[in-house]
Amino acid sequence: MALCLLCPVPELNWRTHVLTASMTDLTFHDYQTEDFYDETFAANGTPRHGSELLVNAINNLPASELRARQEAISKALLKMGITFTVYGDESGTEKIFPFDIIPRIVQAYEWQHIEAGLKQRIKALNLFLDDIYHDQNIVNDGILPREILLKAKSFRPQCVGINPPRGIWCHITGTDLIRHNDGAIYVLEDNLRCPSGVSYVLQNRMVMKRSFPNIFADSRVRPVIDYPAHLFATLAHLAADDSPDPTIVVLTPGIYNSAYYEHSFLAQQMGVPLVEGQDLVVHDDFVYMRTTEGFQKVDVIYRRIDDDFMDPKAFRRDSMLGVPGLMQAYRRGRVALANAPGTGVADDKVIYAYVPDMIRYYLNEEPVLPNVKTYVCEREDDRRYVLEHLGELVVKAANEAGGYGMLIGPHSTSEEQAKFAELIKADPRNYIAQPTLALSRVPTMVGDHFEGRHVDLRPYILYGRTPWVLPGGLTRVALKKGSLVVNSSQGGGSKDTWVIAQAGIAPEDPKETN
Amino acid sequence: MLSRVANSIYWMSRNVERAEHMARFMEVTLNFILDQPDSDVEQWGPLVRATGDEEYFATHYGEFTSGNVLQFLTFDRDYHSSIDSAIRYARENARTVREAISSEAWEQLNEFYHFVRDAASDSSGMPDATFYQDIVKFSFEFNGTVDATMTRDTGWHFGNVGRMLERADKTSRILDVKYFTLLRNVGDVNTTYDDLLWSSVLRSASGFEMFRKRYHSLTVERIVEFLILDHRFPRAVRYSVQQARSSLSEVAGPVPDEQNEALLRTDRLLDRLDSLQALTIINSGVHEFVDWLQTSLNEIGDAIQQTYMAARPFPAAVLPSPSQTQMQSQ
């Protein structure tokens, strides 16, 4: 999984004394929210609205029972093979992505806000992509500086002038959200390329339903099980009108990709073939797959392979994973690709800073969900501020992911700060900075008691006829005390995300489903 | 079905079947030795010889001790046909086609894999007969799960072809190795032997009781007849090849049947088996016959790979997509 490295805060050692030895009964009686925003409890220690049932149920469950259920879940995940391989481990050790049984609960009214914000954002981003690969009005009108667009590494000249089927570029998006101490939800990253993790959302839900059927039923949690059906409809929507029963496939880089499990899971759940580059061949600008009966035409490809590796004729020549000629077939409208090539430009961290402006520019609306405050080093004022405050800020390179090219101010040495000061001065376009954030927390089982652990949230948005947001998402949790790194390779785990249904707040506008 | 997927399902099934037969070899040998404590070396050597990989064994192990042979055939990760390797390959194959097999089948195979891995990392000595019985049971469960949960579509049929060809191969090897150790010095093929000797041959193929129902008393001729030529015993060579043939009939190929090498070769083998009698096989040499049989089975395997799975240049035969078919019929 391409997981991001979130900004850590300094270890708060002076607080550890509050964790007394009495916490051995796996209840919330001694749970401390400390100075963080807690998703389950208000600052005064009472459960937030919607969490009462869960809190009561856990408090009344024998500790041994809860522990047994947590163990049963881990075993079930191993049995189902929901694992990732530890690279470089000769013995083939596979680990499960750790799962914590205390769910993150999202209130109906809050979800309504998130959903509206995500739909708005994805509409604006889609208009932005279509604009920059055609007339570039946003640049011509002076909203986005031209040099910022031209220097975006993930801007694909190969995509200029392309009209993707139905005018949609970003069909599947997994946006990373965080909640800060001020209680507000912010967008941290957009992830318009191949966002992963949705399979964990579905599997986490499955094991939670098995483990806590009663709490689950009473809490009125909105279902996530129909994601594959929505995904299928989103993909089928891309097929040409004269293909009422299109051949849809999922394209994977292969079994050694860390998200391979998800690729096969989604293909299986949709009932479509999972193909590798070697299974496809382009002939006369049509795409075919090699079957036991001969060659069969393919209409829609949900590709989980980056632009760079998709087609050695159009992108990286050394790619062994791709399909030669795929881009030309796409350009001629003979195959649909989701997501469209070229969407990665919106993942550039400098472009990200302009998304609120895009929303105003294209939709004439104010953003529902704010960005994290972002200093763009290309701007002189911002740069000066960043250079003066390197010790407090998190500095990120524009086109890196997974925590590379990053300075975490409060954790850095003066040498590292000096090095980044030079890097920023040498190539200001490539750097942004953000304040160090205190992510919200959710109670998490730690040995024989509960402690708060920091979380983020990745909801998934599908753009078919209209944008649709899966009511749930991947809550990633930093299992290490004080850590804000939710990355699975660095002690991160996940939790089920419960979006609560509420009468009066329509779970879904039927017109908007695809 | 994607050629690559068909290939993976085929090898998934072959490898599970392979692990099962390895376990049968060892379980039966371990039990046999319990009754014949002095014959240790004599029993283990032929097992290695039956693999055809004596050279590898000689280089890496040397002597035919029970410890060496059990390690070699059970846990040697570098040896391609050890139980550990076979199950690892089977699971790797399954992982590449998880979307094409049932979740139940995948979960069962995954459990099988972890069972073998746990045993491999258990340092408390070599496993006993119970372990090998468990392996056989896991294989039964896998086959049962596959059969009970999967549609009889192209995927299932290619899995069945792999399973049946591997079974035919391994049953013939059982006969070969046991004939070598037990039966070849017997002058008169109609002599009745004591239960211990001949029952081990049949037990290796789970055929002891079934044989008894059919024949009651044992002769070499009947054993050969039963394991090679029987039409109804599910582990007999004739039966297994027939099953593979039936599955091949159910999948559409890229060429007309009369040009399909996989079908032609399978039919040729079945015709040959039908023309044979057990006594003919014994008189012309069981070992020679088994050699010939394995060559025939390998040729069928190669033809299947070439016909259905190998990458071919475009265009061989372009199928209209379902939508095009619909368009044309409008």
Using pLDDT thresholds of 50, 70 and 90, give the confidence band for residue B132: very high
A24's tokens: 């051995």
Enter the ipTM: 0.77
Per the model's pLDDT, the better-predicted residue between A480 and B165 turns out to be: B165
Spell out which residues of chain A touch residue B316, defining contact as CB-CB under 8 Å.
294-295
Q: What is the pLDDT of residue A15?
A: 34
Interface residue A81 vs chain B (CB under 8 A): yes
A452 forms beta bridges with A443
Q: Is the pLDDT of residue B319 over 80?
A: no
Q: Do B99 and A273 touch (CB under 8 A)?
A: yes
Q: Do A291 and B1 touch (CB under 8 A)?
A: yes
Using pLDDT thresholds of 50, 70 and 90, give the confidence band for residue A260: confident
Q: What is the pLDDT of residue A402?
A: 55
How many CB atoms are located within 10 Å of the residue A436 CB?
18
Do A291 and B316 touch, CB atoms closer than 8 A? Answer: no
Residue of A nearest to B77 (CA): A91
Do A370 and A334 touch, CB atoms closer than 8 A? Answer: no
Using pLDDT thresholds of 50, 70 and 90, give the confidence band for residue A314: confident
Q: Do A297 and B315 touch (CB under 8 A)?
A: no
Q: What is the pLDDT of residue A512?
A: 41
Mean pLDDT of A411-428: 92
Q: Do A274 and B110 touch (CB under 8 A)?
A: no
CA distance A274 to chain B (A): 7
Q: Is the pLDDT of residue A319 over 90?
A: no
Do A65 and A211 touch, CB atoms closer than 8 A? Answer: no
Sheet with A274-275, strands from edge to edge, namely A274-275, A248-251, A300-303, A336-338
Do A110 and A451 touch, CB atoms closer than 8 A? Answer: no
A431 forms beta bridges with A397
Q: Do B323 and A245 touch (CB under 8 A)?
A: yes
Q: What is the pLDDT of residue A92?
A: 53
- Mean pLDDT across chain A: 86
- Phi and psi for A186 in degrees, rounded to 5? -120, 155
Interface residue A268 vs chain B (CB under 8 A): yes
Q: What is the pLDDT of residue B143?
A: 97
Q: What is the pLDDT of residue B196?
A: 63
Q: What is the pLDDT of residue A389?
A: 95
Spell out which residues of chain A touch residue B312, defining contact as CB-CB under 8 Å.
290
Per the model's pLDDT, the better-predicted residue between B134 and B189 turns out to be: B134
Residue of B nearest to A252 (CA): B96
Q: Is the pLDDT of residue B28 over 70?
A: yes
Q: Which of A260, A272, A293 sits opposite B252 (nearest CB)?
A: A293
Using pLDDT thresholds of 50, 70 and 90, give the confidence band for residue A10: very low
CA quadruple A244, A247, A251, A254: dihedral sign: positive
The lowest-confidence range among A127-136, A441-450, A481-490, B70-79 is A481-490
Using pLDDT thresholds of 50, 70 and 90, give the confidence band for residue B254: confident
pLDDT tens sequence across A276-295: 999 999 999 999 999 998 89
- Phi and psi for A386 in degrees, rounded to 5? -60, -45
CA angle A50, A513, A103 (to 5 degrees): 25
Q: Is the pLDDT of residue A136 over 60?
A: yes
Interface residue A292 vs chain B (CB under 8 A): yes
Residue of A nearest to B305 (CA): A292
Q: Is the peptide bond before A312 cis (omega within 30 degrees of 0)?
A: no
Q: What is the pLDDT of residue B41?
A: 47
- Quote the pTM value: 0.83
The residues, any chain, with a CB within 8 Å of residue A191's CB and separated by 6 or more, are A2, A173, A174, A175, A176, A347, A458
Strands (DSSP E) contained in A110-155 are none
Do A497 and A201 touch, CB atoms closer than 8 A? Answer: yes
pLDDT tens sequence across B181-209: 665 555 544 555 555 666 777 777 777 77
Spell out which residues of chain A touch residue B311, defining contact as CB-CB under 8 Å.
278, 290
Q: What is the pLDDT of residue B160?
A: 97
Interface mutation vs chain A, best among B251, B321, B325, most A CBs within 10 Å: B321
Q: Is the pLDDT of residue B321 over 80?
A: no
Spell out which residues of chain A touch residue B253, defining contact as CB-CB under 8 Å.
292-293
Residue of A nearest to B328 (CA): A242
Residue of B nearest to A90 (CA): B77
Mean pLDDT of B256-263: 93
A288/A378 Cα distance (integer angstroms): 46
Spell out which residues of chain B touch residue A275, defining contact as CB-CB under 8 Å.
2
Q: Is the pLDDT of residue A13 over 60?
A: no
Q: Which of B100, B111, B254 sits opposite A79 (nearest CB)?
A: B111
B254's tokens: 């890229």
Spell out which residues of chain B touch residue A79, defining contact as CB-CB under 8 Å.
107, 110-111
Burial code (b: 16+ CB inside 10 Å, e: under 16) for A4-37 equals bbbbbbeeeeeeeeebeeebeebbbeebbbeebb
A282's tokens: 């382009």
Q: Which of B252, B309, B326 sits opposite A244 (nearest CB)?
A: B326
Nearest of A285, A310, A362, A321 to residue A123 by alpha carbon: A362
Do B211 and B241 touch, CB atoms closer than 8 A? Answer: no
Spell out which residues of chain B touch residue A272, defining contact as CB-CB under 8 Å.
99
Q: Which of B106, B251, B316 sits opposite A81 (nearest CB)?
A: B106
The residues, any chain, with a CB within 8 Å of residue B237's CB and separated by 6 or more, are B168, B171, B172, B227, B228, B229, B273, B293
How many CB atoms are located within 10 Å of the residue B246 CB?
14
CA distance B66 to chain A (A): 25
Mean pLDDT of A51-76: 86
Q: What is the pLDDT of residue A46?
A: 92
The continuous run of DSSP H or E covering A416 comes out as: helix A414-426
Q: What is the pLDDT of residue A96?
A: 75
A158's tokens: 């190969």
Interface mutation vs chain B, best among A91, A280, A285, A292, most B CBs within 10 Å: A292
Contacts 24+ apart (CB under 8 A), A138-143: A138/A358, A138/A361, A138/A362, A141/A361, A143/A354, A143/A357, A143/A358, A143/A361
Mean pLDDT of A415-432: 92
pLDDT tens sequence across A371-385: 999 999 999 999 999
Q: What is the pLDDT of residue A114?
A: 97
Per the model's pLDDT, the better-predicted residue between A340 and A3 turns out to be: A340
A375/A353 Cα distance (integer angstroms): 8
Residues of B with CB under 8 A from a CB of A: 1-6, 88, 92, 95-100, 103, 106-107, 110-111, 114, 117, 154, 158, 251-254, 308-309, 311-312, 314-324, 326-327
CA distance A223 to chain B (A): 21
Helices marked H in chain B: 3-35, 40-51, 54-60, 66-70, 83-96, 103-121, 129-149, 154-178, 195-204, 208-215, 220-224, 237-250, 261-275, 278-284, 286-304, 322-329
Q: Do A264 and B99 touch (CB under 8 A)?
A: yes
* Beta pairing class for A176-179 and A94-96: unpaired
The lowest-confidence range among A6-10, B15-19, B144-148, B206-210 is A6-10
Nearest of A301, A486, A283, A278 to residue A402 by alpha carbon: A486
Interface mutation vs chain A, best among B92, B97, B98, most A CBs within 10 Å: B98
The lowest-confidence range among A211-215, A402-406, B39-43, B292-296 is B39-43
Q: What is the pLDDT of residue A410?
A: 86
The lowest-confidence range among A508-512, B65-69, B199-203, B263-267 is A508-512
The residues, any chain, with a CB within 8 Å of residue B61's CB and separated by 6 or more, are B68, B69, B71, B72
The residues, any chain, with a CB within 8 Å of residue A496's CB and separated by 6 or more, are A103, A104, A204, A205, A208, A472, A475
Sheet with A467-469, strands from edge to edge, namely A172-174, A460-463, A467-469
- Mean pLDDT across chain B: 85
Q: What is the pLDDT of residue B21?
A: 92
Q: Do B323 and A299 touch (CB under 8 A)?
A: yes
Q: How remote is the C-alpha of A71 from its chain's centroid? A: 27
What percentage of chain A exceeds 70 in pLDDT? 89
Q: What is the DSSP code (8-state) at residue B77?
A: T
The lowest-confidence range among A305-309, B213-217, B299-303 is B213-217
CA distance B112 to chain A (A): 10
What is the rounded end-to-end Cα distance, in angstroms, of chain A?
27
Nearest of B274, B302, B28, B11 to residue B175 by alpha carbon: B28
Q: Which of A260, A264, A295 sits opposite B314 (nearest CB)?
A: A295
Q: Which of B1, B95, B110 sits opposite A292 (nearest CB)?
A: B1
Spell out which residues of chain A touch residue B5, defining contact as CB-CB under 8 Å.
273-274
Q: What is the pLDDT of residue B315?
A: 60
The lowest-confidence range among A124-133, A171-180, A487-496 is A487-496
CA quadruple A114, A117, A123, A124: dihedral sign: negative
Per the model's pLDDT, the better-predicted residue between A346 and B318 turns out to be: A346
Mean pLDDT of B148-166: 96
Contacts 24+ apart (CB under 8 A), B29-33: B29/B200, B30/B66, B30/B128, B30/B129, B30/B132, B31/B129, B31/B200, B31/B203, B32/B196, B32/B200, B33/B66
A434 forms beta bridges with A394
What percentage of chain B exceeds 90 in pLDDT? 57
Residue of B nearest to A261 (CA): B95
Do B72 and B126 touch, CB atoms closer than 8 A? Answer: no
Nearest of A288, A256, A3 to residue B95 by alpha carbon: A256
Q: Which of A243, A268, A290 sits opposite B99 (nearest CB)?
A: A268
Per the model's pLDDT, the better-predicted residue between B63 and A95 turns out to be: B63
Q: What is the pLDDT of residue A80?
A: 75
Q: How remote is the C-alpha of B88 from its chain's centroid? A: 16
Distances (CA, A) of B175 to B129, B170, B294: 20, 9, 12
User: Which amino acid belongs to residue A169?
Assistant: W
